[in-house]
Amino acid sequence: MVSGFRCSAAICIMAFALVPPPAFAEADPVQPGAGEVLKLPGLPDIKMPPGVHVYGPRGDAPNGMTPGRPDGGMVVGPGGVLPNPDLQPMPQRKAAAPPKRVPTPAERAEAIRKALQPHPPLAVARRHTLDELYGKLAVASDTEEAKGLAGLISAIWMRTSSDTANLLMQRAVVSIQGKNLDVAAQLLDKLVVLDPSWAEAWNKRASVRFAKGDLDGSMADVKHVLQLEPKHFGALEGMAMILQRTGFDKQALEVYRRALAVYPHQPEVQQIVDKLTIQVEGQGI
């Protein structure tokens, strides 16, 4: 049946259907046999008979409340079950997010200044990378790690910013691998003129000249390499080989040791140093 409650002029008319509880409703374990309590503004609490539930016209609790334990005017009955078990509690409204902070004019100006700063030139970035790799190579824990770092360094040596120079280098390397030293020498002669600041161009020509027996020309190129790239361990070892071949064992030993200081994990070079050390010390030098 329907029971109507008419409020004062400031309160609208509210009607609630009194229906028996659904078959799956259970008695309230806290207060057995207790009925629901209907609370309306301006009226005393109305106790409902046991087993009777109070619902709004849409099958929900009065004023949009959700059935449950007594809490702040909620209507509660045995089991606290709605006729429609699919009804969900009304979602709580989330607090509004605080407004985003607006940068000050000074902060905006600083951000623009940083964005407009020129990026470091390629040569500067290349130098920084090489120096970092040299540092890691000097303290590598084992031979395998050292080989990996040396490979990265060599890869950087082999590249320059000029596409034309890179192409000439590729052709020169192919000629060296094919034992065509004359063609390689011609290509490298052009390369050191095209890009005289590229240390590896001078180093490759030094290797070709050494292979052709031109030790003086090779030494001149090696010195040029070390002016551009003082830690070029390949050029250092090449210089030591020339010195050793021309009878300057003491100087060769010093240069080999410089190479090992840059690239310590080189067993073959270490063996040469050990032998030269005995020879030089045996001569009383």
- Give per-residue pLDDT as tens, 6-53: 443 333 333 333 444 443 333 344 344 455 666 666 667 766 666 655
Residue 147 predicted with pLDDT over 90 = yes
pLDDT of 277: 94
Residue 244 predicted with pLDDT over 60 = yes
Residue of 206 and 77 predicted with greater confidence: 206
Mean pLDDT, all residues of the chain:
78
User: Which pair of tokens denotes residue 28?
Assistant: 């309230």
Q: Which helix (H) or strand (E) holds 227?
A: helix 215-228
Residue of 99 and 258 predicted with greater confidence: 258
Q: What angle do CA 139, 143, 144 make, to 5 degrees?
A: 105
Domain layout of the chain by residue ranges: 1-81, 122-282
User: Which pair of tokens denotes residue 148?
Assistant: 């990996």
Q: What angle do CA 85, 63, 47 make, to 5 degrees?
A: 85
Q: Which CATH number fits domain 122-282: 3.40.50.10540, 3.40.50.1820, 1.25.40.10, 3.30.930.10?
A: 1.25.40.10
Q: 23-32, 44-53, 193-202, 255-264: which range is least confident on average?
A: 23-32
Residue of 42 and 259 predicted with greater confidence: 259
Identify whether the C-beta of residue 200 lies closer than 8 Å to the C-beta of residue 188: no
Mean pLDDT across 102-124: 78
pLDDT of 119: 62
| Separation of first and last alpha carbons in the chain | 121
Mean pLDDT across 274-285: 79
pLDDT of 132: 95
